[in-house]
Amino acid sequence: MSPLSSIAGDGPAPEHPAPGNPFGDRPVVRLKPKAEARAIRHGFPWVYADELVMDRRTGNIPPGALAVLEDGERRALGLVTVNVKSKIVARMLDRDPGAVVDEAWFAARLSRALELRARLHEAPFYRLVHAEADGLPGVVIDRFGDVAVVQPNAAWAEALLEPLVAALRAVTGVSTVIKNGTGRSRGLEGLAEETVVLCGGVAGPVAVPMNGATYMADVTGGQKTGLFYDQRPNHAFAARLAKGARVLDVFTHVGGFALAALAGGAESALAVDASAPALALAEAGARASGVADRFAVRQGDAFAVLEALAAEGERFDQVICDPPAFAPAKPALEAGLRAYERIARLAAPVVAPGGYLVLCSCSHAADLAAFRNASARGIGRGGRRGQLLHTGFAGADHPMLPQLAESGYLKSLFFRLD
C-alpha cells in the first residue's frame, strides 16, 4: 500500500468526487464563494476553517489526508493537506493537484533545501527545513552532523513520516533521526506529544561548532530540537561588540550569546537561565570551548535576577535578553508586549554607560514595529536613552516565505545606551 492510500484509509472514508474527476480518488475541498482565492494563487499557503465549504464530505476527511483544493468556481488551485480539527484547515503542498507525495517527492524538496544550506555552511550544522518556506508546511528539521531532529508539527507530516524520514536519510546520509513531537503546534493539530529515536542513536549531548564556540545540544530531551540555530548571525554581530567586555546573557539556554561573546574576545560572561539542565549544558559548552575560566552561570527567574543585579550595583558592557515567545499568538499580544517592555526596563539599568543592550523576540504575533516600540518604552522607563544600531533577523537557513509573515518571526534589536 502506498503512503497516500494508507492515509486515505485512516479513518472514515470520504465520499469520492464526482465521476470524471481527473484526480482519481482524492477528495476535493472547495473555497467558499467569497473566500479570497487570489492570495492562494499568489503563494499564501494556508486556508482557514471559515474559508472552506464544510460539508459532510469534507468533515469526514481524516486529519492529514491529501485533497485537491478548488476555488469557488471549481477550478483546481493545487494539492493540499486537510485537518478539519485545526484552525488552519488546509495547507498547500503542491501547485500540481495531481502530484504524488511519496519518497521521491520528499527527496526533491529535501535536495533543494540541502543545496542552499551546503552553500551557506561548511559544516553540516544548520536548520535543513524551515516549514512552509521550504515547501514542507509544518515540518522543521534541524541537522547536527550525523543526527537530524524532525518536528512533524502538522497532521500530514505525522501521517507521512515514514517516506519523509527515508528521503531524509537518502538525501543527507544521516544515520540517526529523532522525532521531536512536542510543542504548542502539535496540540493545535490534535497530535500527541512524544519524542522518539526513529533510527540510529545518540549517547549524550551533541557538540555543535558555531561562531568559534562549541555548544552542547540535548537532541532527545532539550528544548525544541536542542539548539537554536536562528540566532547564529545575531550571536556573531553581538560578539563583534563584546571584545574586552563584561557580558550578561539572560535567557541563555545552552550558552547562546555568552559563548559566542567569549569566543569573540569578551572579558567575562554571566549566563542566566531558569533551567538547571540548560545551564549545565552551557557550562559543558564553555569547557569544550576552552573559556570556562571566564564563564559563570546564575540560575533563576530572569526578571528577578535583573532586579537583583541592579540592586547589587552590577554593571555590564553588554546585556542580552533573548526570552521565549511572550506573544506566541494574537490573543497574547498585549500581555506579551508588556513583558518585552518590562524586560527592557529591568535590563537597561545594568548596562554600563556607553554599553550595549540587545533585545530579542521570537513572537511572530508581535511585529517588528510593535516590538521595537515596546523595547524603546522600556529603555526609557529604565531611565536610559540610546541609539538603535542594528536590527537582526534569523539566519538564511531560516528562509522567510514572503507571503507568510509568521515565517519571519525573529527580531533582534541592538542598542547603544548613553
Give the catalytic positions in this structure.
362
Helical ranges in 265-317 per DSSP H: 276-289, 302-311
Q: Quick one: how many helices (H) and strands (E) in the chain?
A: 13, 19
Residues 6+ apart with CB under 8 A from 287: none
Element holding 210 (H helix, E strand): strand 206-210
Neighbour order of strands in the sheet with 176-181 = 125-130, 139-144, 147-152, 176-181, 194-199
What are 217's three cell numbers? Answer: 545540544
The Cα–Cα gap between 11 and 84 comes to 13
The alpha helices in 276-409, defined as continuous H runs, are 276-289, 302-311, 333-347, 368-381
C-alpha cell at 335: 500581555
Q: Phi/psi zone of residue 221: left (φ > 0), alpha (ψ -120 to 50 degrees), beta?
A: alpha
